[in-house]
Amino acid sequence: MICEECLETVEVPSAPATSNLDRTAPQPATPPSPDPASEKQPARQWKTQDTPSTQPDNQEADEFIPESFAIICAVCSTRLYANKSQIGSRIPCPDCYSTTQVRSPKPVKKQPPKPAHNEPMVPLSKTDHKDRDARKDVAEMALAAAKKEVHSEQKVIRERESKSRFQNLFGFLLLPDILLRLVSFSFLMTITIFLYRMASQHNQGIMAALGLLLSVAGLVTGVIAFLTALPNCVVITIETANGNYEINDLPGINFMDGFGYTLYMLTCLSLCAIPYLLLSYLLGIGGSDNALTQVLIQIVCACFFPLLLLSALEAQSPVLIWSPSILESIADRASCWIEFWLTTALLLAIRQLLDSLMPPYLPLRTLLSSTLTITVALLYFRAMGLLAWQASKIFNQESS
């Protein structure tokens, strides 16, 4: 059995041929006189009393590797279980989807059983009965809690698998928390763009001071909206990768609540800017308005971005943005990655097409363009979470 505290494997000794409950007190040589009161007393139960073993204490016990044992995930500290045949290989974690190498556990000592004739019988006291009943109640409560947790997890997974990819990808936009953030971020993005455009119209004469104030206001609004949106995107990816249809524990309006996730996004976005600038320079577009070329560059960068973010999340560090296991998943689960890349290209192409068909009226166009941009961003990070979930699901099926 596995100890829940130290994760060591403990061998359960075999029970004696005669149970303690079946043993009876030794009868005296001369039977006592019959007593009516004693006939009504219940039969006494007996337990063994520990006596010194006749075997020497320094005798070496046999050691062996158990058939199954527990290990700890190096990323999220989740308890995983492996068997002897998996030693040296890597197994996936069902919570964070990282892989952990299975190392050989500590050998278990097999103690020789004590002789049965060295176990004198003593009766079970009332305290022994209470301790036994208390341990039984605690064990039953722990078992019931474990069954309830497993049942709830299976219910979530069944609910997720019962929905199609279209529902998993687009249906989550109708969730109350996601819909609220879609409206809020679209409004903040519209205000930011509107303030900058107003500032550009007041840049001469005495109105230059007003333009400066509008620029500062737009900068503050944009930075707050940007820092608030980044951790929400990471949480959407993580919750989806964990197999949840609904998104829980989304950060609120205080962008400092999820600042740790913000560091992941800032690091990955900074590194993703390198291929964007390089492709822009090689294609010679610079500040050109070539919409098709811009969309192609955006698609390449968006397909490269998951390699950085998923690697950082697996390593639980915004600095370690290159994971060998993520790179191996491209070859092992190529269909999942191809499906994600096609989804990304389709989303960006549709956004560019709809943006070109918007009305020329400036305030309405700004609002619609902001809403479309936020919607595509939410769908993109949802698709990234689906990629991690599907790849991990296929890996678990192949392992089993």
Q: What is the pLDDT of residue 234?
A: 92
Residue 173 lies in a domain: yes
In a shared domain, residues 287 and 392: yes
In a shared domain, residues 375 and 309: yes
Does residue 115 surpass a pLDDT of 50?
Answer: yes
Residue 333 lies in a domain: yes
In a shared domain, residues 191 and 80: no
Better pLDDT: 357 or 165: 357
Q: pLDDT per residue over 173-204, tens digit each?
A: 888 899 999 999 999 999 999 888 888 887 77
In a shared domain, residues 172 and 85: no
Q: What is the pLDDT of residue 342?
A: 94
Better pLDDT: 279 or 35: 279
Residue corresponding to tokens 């709830």:
152
Domain total for the chain? Answer: 2
Does residue 105 surpass a pLDDT of 70?
Answer: yes
In a shared domain, residues 96 and 172: no
Q: Considering the chain, what is the average pLDDT of its residues?
A: 77
Q: Which amino acid is at 315?
A: A
Residue 383 lies in a domain: yes
Q: Which amino acid is at 349?
A: A
Does residue 399 surpass a pLDDT of 50?
Answer: no
The residue segments making up the domain with residue 62 are 1-11+46-122
Mean pLDDT in residue range 334-338: 90
pLDDT exceeding 70 applies to what percent of the chain?
74
Cα–Cα distance between 241 and 238 in angstroms, integer? 5
pLDDT band at 44 (very low <50, low <70, confident <90, very high): very low
Q: List the one residue out of 66, 65, 71 whose CA is nearest residue 91.
A: 71
In a shared domain, residues 73 and 180: no
Judged on CB neighbours under 10 Å (0-12, 13-18, 19+), 379 is buried
Q: pLDDT per residue over 142-179, tens digit each?
A: 888 888 777 776 676 666 667 777 888 888 888 889 99
Residue 18 lies in a domain: no
Q: What is the pLDDT of residue 159?
A: 67
Q: What is the pLDDT of residue 69?
A: 83
Q: What is the pLDDT of residue 1?
A: 77
Sorted by sequence, the CB contacts under 8 Å of residue 368 that are 6+ apart come out as: 358, 359
Q: pLDDT per residue over 129-143, tens digit each?
A: 667 777 777 777 888
Concatenated DSSP letters of 38-105: HHTSPPPPEEE-----SS-TTPPPEEE--SEEEEE-TTT--EEEEEGGGTTSEEE-TTT--EEE-PPP
